[in-house]
Amino acid sequence: MVSYAFALILLLTLVAYFAARRQASVVGRSVGASMHSRPTYHGFNAAIWACAPPLIIVLVWVLFQDAVINRMILGLFDADRIAAMSSAERSLLISEIRQLAAGRQFGTPGEDLLAAAQTLNGWTWLAHVSMVVIVGVIGALGLVLGVRAIAPRYRARHSVELSLNIFMVFCSFVAVFTTIGIIASLVFESIQFFMRVPASEFFFGTRWEPQIPIRADQVAGSGAFGAIPVFVGTFVIATIAMVFAVPIGLMSAVYLTEYADVRVRSVVKPLLEILAGVPTVVYGFFAVLIVAPLIRDFGTGLGLSVAPRSALAAGGVMAIMLIPFISSLSDDALAAVPRALREGSYAMGATKGETIRKVLLPAALPGIMGGILLALSRAIGETMIVVMAAGLIASMNINPLDSVTTVTVQIVTLLIGDTAFDNPKTLSAFALGLMLFIITLFLNVIALSIVRKYREKY
Amino acid sequence: MAAVETTGSGARTIDWSSDEFKKRRSRRYAADRRLQYYGIAAIATALGLLAILITSLVMTGYTAFTQTMVSVQITLDDERIDRNDVFGANWRNIVRDAFKAATPGLETADERAYFAMFTNNAPFLVRDRVVADPRLVGTTVTFTIPMADPVDQLAKGQIDRSTPESQRRVSDQQIAWFDGLAQQGMISRPFNTGLFFNADSRFPELAGLAGAISGSFWALMVCFFISFPCGIAAAIYLEEFAPKNKLTDLIEVNINNLAAVPSVVFGLLALAVFIGWFNMPRSIPLVGGLALALMTLPTIIIVTRASLKSVPSSIREAALGIGASKHEVIMHHILPLAMPTILTGTIIGLAQALGETAPLLLIGMNAFITSPPAGILEPATALPTQIFIWADSPERGFVSRTSAAILVLLGFLITMNAIAIFLRQRFERRW
């Protein structure tokens, strides 16, 4: 039915545009050159009148229809019975009725449920039909008003431009809304979490066992939501990744900017960029399929015991992903060092290597540091590689050959296949998400400000 | 170096050709060369890893592009199939009898192991084809049916016949049966069309990417139709209209920071807001596309602003000079000229969105769904999440399927990037 509404709106819009344009050109011909706006603008103006109000109505309607109908369905039942139910029981009842209404019947449902399902189908149908009717009426009204507004002095262009401005301002605010949405949802769910689990336990506890089903009244005493091991694991894997990625990325940037001739550079740079374009799920599979067994065999050969999901494998593969990132940011930093510094150093008789080590790298250091911080924030926020290649059990150790878990792994494993936001298990994922957001935001802000400051210097 | 040569009276002259200075020079040059070698080594490592990555994916994945099939004649006689109820016939027995006929002298005790060589869904495959074309009833038709995964791997040489029987997944007897079928010319290994036209399945030999590809398609459509107009409108406003004040500064900082927020956080946002607060269903491409759109938006805004900036001001002034309004200047002149760059950036942004997995996992686009979605409101998987599901599957056959799915995904990404590069080289103007 929603698609009928959209089709109707589209039809009305097209009719409005062409009718108004035609009308405007007729009027224009009769009054000569004194028409304020060209016919196209009258057309657009009428089209906006015909489509904007119904579109807003449809969106609001679709967003709230189910919630309203759910409430009305609950009203069918005995008020005392509903009041006695918890919110989870209520949503279970609703979903049962909705399943019945959709024709999916399990077992023998009660008479009242079947009746409710029928009522629900009736109401849904009524709601859809009335939506289409209302949309049609309002759209037609807009069409008529838009066409009737056509007059030589009517400033259709201004009106269209005003609508465009409103649309553009709205779109600019989408990014702000997104940030607000991120912060609001994370903070809101985290508050729910901290109402169930004390913050001191989350920040200072050293045991993380969220998968154990715990009754709500036992949570506080169980000590299973200490996030420190999770952060330690994140730190271990990010460190391993940086240890491999920074030297390789930096060295390749140095070689590409300073030593390589143009042809080598034009081939190697795009090849390195490919590494950045590979989806992370592919790296995750690569880690599981090739790297982890390789490290395990190698370690066993040396007589070491290596966990099948070792931190080294996850961190090492993450390093591959970060190499092009660090390389291109260092590349920019090195290229931004003014020629004068470079040539001054050569004039003093320094070799290329000495110039790089003693002049270019110190001069480019802030930019390179900014790049490294950005890469670190990526390593911390990276999800798929660690979900596939790192461990699930949080353990407090920093041995790279052991299995550790990370913040992102926990977020994903806690939320896969679970939407009830009323237990500490799923809510803890939002608390972890909030920490992740704050840490990466902090790193990004520092990195961007370092990079910007440094750019102003030369 | 501490030693500085002083010869003669008073005037410091250095004998650059002395042995000591020669040594010193060669040491400095050696250090220079070492640095160069480090650079070469770093690049070689990075490119070597890329090569290993691609090679290992191709080596494990290429076998999944063919599928071992058995061609078997099935008699669809009227006695066993009621023309009015084709669906209800005992397809299991019909198909099993046909399989049995292909290997004479089969003991009853061996039947179980023998039937395990063919895909479990063989009766349904045959049934569906006959239901679609009931005129087949009463004739004998040759059906080409996939072999089960272990036999498929045997045929592809991934199971070594020389390993002891207890350590391989096909028994000696199954190998003998397979060879018997092969001798009769019933075994073929055509291109695996099922990989592209089947949806997901628990059986590797039947699992395909159709559901994932269409799920990704719908999600990308939603992503495009939201992020493209919205991104361009926001960029035009910020670049051409916005006054310089605290609010617009805030928006700009916001956009830059959003571009660096980890993707999993967008998944949390979509889960909490779209699914939790707005009660949208899980696993649907609409929600996935919305999450991807919010992620892609900053990229498109940044690219669009850069390309609007690069249009020379002479064009702007010329249009203003002949009486165009500011909106007309932008709509008629600046935007069309900037469009190739914007499109290039958009395609690259969409390619990133196509490979994005974490947000889709959180909103449940990793469900087990056996039919391709017909629209943005039906549960679906996407290509990257399908890869994740298959990578997690215990069956051996899914290893090569996963690699093949990755190759398909990389193929899409390469195509999109190639289109972007083509657009840039063909239409982009240098001012």
B158 in A contact zone (CB under 8 Å): no
- Residue A25 in any domain: the answer is yes
Q: Which residue has the higher pLDDT, B279 or B345?
A: B345
Q: In terms of CA atoms, which chain A residue is nearest residue B410?
A: A278
Residue A285 resides in a domain: yes
For residue A122, being part of any structural domain is answered with yes
Asked if A102 has any chain B CB less than 8 Å from its own CB, the reply is no
CA torsion A318-A324-A325-A330 (nearest 10°) is 130
In this prediction, residue B2 carries a pLDDT of: 44
Whole-number Cα distances in Å, B71 to A423, B95, B132, B144: 54, 12, 20, 4
CA separation for the pair B83, B184 (Å, rounded):
32
Q: What is the dihedral of CA A279, A285, A290, A296, to 10 degrees?
A: 120
Interface of A with B in 142-171 (CB under 8 A): 157, 160-161, 164-165, 167-171
Give the residue-averaged pLDDT of B16-28.
89
Query: Do A149 and A260 belong to one domain?
Result: no
Task: Sheet with B187-188: list strands edge to edge.
Answer: B140-146, B69-75, B187-188
Nearest alpha carbon to residue B269 among A435, A61, A171, A187: A187
Task: Identify the domain containing residue A345 by its residue range.
Answer: 222-457
pLDDT reported for residue A354: 93
Between CA B110 and CA B122 the distance in angstroms is 19
User: What does the alpha-carbon distance between residue B87 and residue B131 come to, in Å, rounded to a whole number?
Assistant: 6
- Pair of tokens at residue A219: 């949570």
Q: Assess whether A254 and A357 both reside in one domain.
A: yes
The predicted-structure confidence for B45-89, as pLDDT tens digits, reads as follows 999 999 999 999 999 889 889 999 999 888 888 888 888 888 888
Contact assignment for B409 to A282 by CB distance below 8 Å: yes
| Rg of the Cα atoms in chain B | 32
A279/B357 touch (CB, cutoff 8 Å), yes or no = yes
DSSP assignments along B324-363, one per residue: --HHHIIIIIIHHHHHHHHHHHHHHHHHHHHH--HHHHHT
Residue A204 within a domain: no
Same domain, A46 and A138: yes
Partners of B144 in the β-ladder: B71
* Measured distance CA(B275)–CA(B268) in Å, rounded: 10
Contact B257 A179 (CB under 8 A): yes
Partner A contacted by B30 (CB < 8 A): no
Could you say which residues of chain A have pLDDT below 50?
Answer: 214-221
Select the residue from B59, B216, B271, B416 to test the A interface by mutation, using most A Cβ atoms within 10 A. Answer: B271
Whether B302 shows a pLDDT value over 60: the answer reads yes
Which residues of A fall within a CB distance of 8 Å from B254? 175-176, 179
Give me the mean pLDDT over the B185-195 stretch.
89
Cβ A386 vs Cβ A240: under 8 Å: no
Question: Is A52 inside any structural domain?
Answer: yes
Domain boundary among A154, A180, A213: A154
Contacts of A128 in chain B (CB under 8 A): none
Per-residue pLDDT at B140 exceeds 80? yes
ipTM, two decimals, is 0.90
User: Is B270 a residue whose pLDDT tops 50?
Assistant: yes
Nearest CA to B396 out of A388, A223, A289, A317 is that of A289
Mean pLDDT, chain B, integer: 88
Of the candidates B143, B147, B193, the residue with the CA atom closest to the CA atom of residue B170: B147
CA distance B25 to B105: 86
Contact A281 B388 (CB under 8 A): yes
Between A157, A182, A387, which is nearest B265 by CB?
A182
Is A176 domain-assigned?
A: no
Any chain A CB within 8 A of the CB of B14? Answer: no
Report the CATH number that the domain containing residue A378 is assigned in CATH: 1.10.3720.10
- Name residues whose C-beta falls within 8 Å of residue A254's C-beta, 6 or more positions apart in sequence: A330, A334, A356, A360, A361, B35, B39
Contact B46 A430 (CB under 8 A): no
Mean pLDDT calculated for residue range B343-350: 93
Task: Please list every residue in chain A whose beta carbon sits closer than 8 Å to the beta carbon of residue B46.
Answer: 248-249, 252, 272, 275, 320, 323-324, 327
Q: Which residue type does A180 have?
A: I
Q: B217 and B386 in contact (C-beta within 8 Å)? A: no
The tokens 């160069």 sit on which residue? B36
Nearest Cα to Cα of residue A240 among A279, A162, A195, A295: A295
Mean pLDDT of B376-395: 90
A141 and A263 inside one domain:
no
- Exposed / middle / buried, residue B71 (Cβ in 10 Å: 0-12, 13-18, 19+): middle
pLDDT value, residue A247: 96
B304 and chain A in contact, CB less than 8 A: no
Closest to A66 (Cβ–Cβ): which among B32, B279, B385? B279
| Same domain membership, residue A376 and residue A231 | yes
Integer Cα distance of A399 and A419 in angstroms: 34
- CB pairs < 8 Å spanning A and B: 264
Q: What is the pLDDT of residues B84-123, one digit of tens each?
A: 888 888 888 888 888 888 888 888 888 888 888 898 888 8
Which amino acid type is present at position A334?
Answer: L
Nearest-angstrom CA–CA distance, B63 and B65 = 5
Model pLDDT, residue B383: 94
Structure tokens at A403: 């299995």
Q: Are residues A313 and A448 in the same domain?
A: yes
Alpha-carbon torsion A203, A205, A211, A217, what sign?
negative
Amino acid letter for position A239: T
- B60–chain A Cβ distance below 8 A for any pair: yes
What does the pLDDT look like over B162-180, one tens digit per residue? 888 888 888 888 888 998 8
**pLDDT higher than threshold 50 for residue B3:** no
- In chain A, which among 284-303 make CB contacts under 8 A with chain B? 284-286, 288-290
| Separation CA B390–CA B282 (nearest Å) | 20
Q: What is the mean pLDDT of residues B302-310?
A: 93
Distance from C-alpha of A427 to C-alpha of A421, rounded to nearest angstrom: 6
The verdict on a CB contact (< 8 Å) between B57 and A256 is no
Cβ proximity of A421 and B276 under 8 Å: yes
Q: In the listed set A96, A122, A154, which residue is the last one of a domain according to the structure?
A: A154
Say whether A353 and B28 touch across the interface (CB within 8 A): yes
Query: What pLDDT, on a 0 to 100 scale, did the predictor assign at position A309?
Result: 86
Q: Kindly list the residues from chain B whose CB atom is less than 8 angstroms away from the CB atom of residue A433.
A: 264-265, 268
**φ, ψ of residue A338 in degrees (nearest 5):** -65, 150
Amino acid at A398: I
- Check CB contact of B296 with chain A, cutoff 8 Å: no
Residue A96 located in a structural domain: yes
Cα dist from A444 to A197, A293, A295, A362, B315, whole Å? 30, 34, 32, 22, 37
Query: Which pLDDT value is given to residue B1?
Result: 42
Q: Do A182 and B261 touch (CB under 8 A)?
A: yes
Q: Cβ–Cβ of A171/B231 closer than 8 Å?
A: yes
The answer to whether B275 contacts chain A (CB < 8 Å) is yes
C-beta of residue B179 within 8 angstroms of C-beta of residue B68: no
| Confidence (pLDDT) at A455 | 62
Long-range (24+ apart) CB contacts under 8 A made by B131-137 are B131/B86, B131/B87, B134/B83, B134/B86, B136/B76, B137/B76, B137/B78, B137/B81, B137/B83, B137/B86
CA–CA min distance A351, chain B (Å): 7
> What residues in B contact A247, CB-CB < 8 Å?
42
Please report the pLDDT score of residue B27 as a whole number. Answer: 93
Is A214 contained in some domain?
no
Please indicate, yes or no, whether residues A294 and A376 belong to a single structural domain of this protein: yes
Helices B383-392 + B335-355 axis angle, to 10: 10
Q: How many domains does chain A contain in total?
A: 2
Inter-chain touch B38–A380, beta carbons under 8 Å: no
Predicted confidence band of residue B213 (pLDDT cuts 50, 70, 90):
very high
Nearest residue on chain B to A188, alpha-carbon basis: B272
pLDDT tier at B262, thresholds 50, 70, 90: very high
